[in-house]
Amino acid sequence: MIYIFAYITRERKLIDMMTAKVFKNGRSQAIRLPKECRFSSDEVVVNKIGDIVILLPKQNKWDSFMKAIDMFSDDFMADRRTTDIVQERDEL
């Protein structure tokens, strides 16, 4: 069993990440989510990127995405947005 406890600094706030228990349910692997992380629906969309697993509610998954975007600060990637370099490409 692996437990992860991490701190993320965002807007001068300290956010601690919760842990969840991983267990076997028959031949499947399952995760027991903390109460604060429970879904109101019966199905979720699952996406795996490397070792990271992302769960989104199947219904209204775009609402979750839009709420997450609002969490970024105004200066997020500001230096990349101000780049005026135009790529030169061959014509098609």
Q: What DSSP element (H or E) covers 20?
A: none
Instruction: Tell which wins on pLDDT, 86 or 20.
Output: 20
Whole-structure pTM value:
0.50
Q: How many CA atoms lie within 13 A of 57 on its CB side?
A: 14
What pLDDT was estimated at residue 82? 58
* pLDDT exceeds 90 at position 24: yes
- 65 alpha carbon, distance to own chain's centre: 9
pLDDT one-digit tens code per residue, 28-81:
999 999 998 888 888 988 999 999 998 888 887 677 777 777 777 777 777 665
Three-state DSSP class for residue 36: helix
What pLDDT was estimated at residue 21? 93
Instruction: Tell which wins on pLDDT, 5 or 82.
Output: 82
* pLDDT exceeds 90 at position 88: no
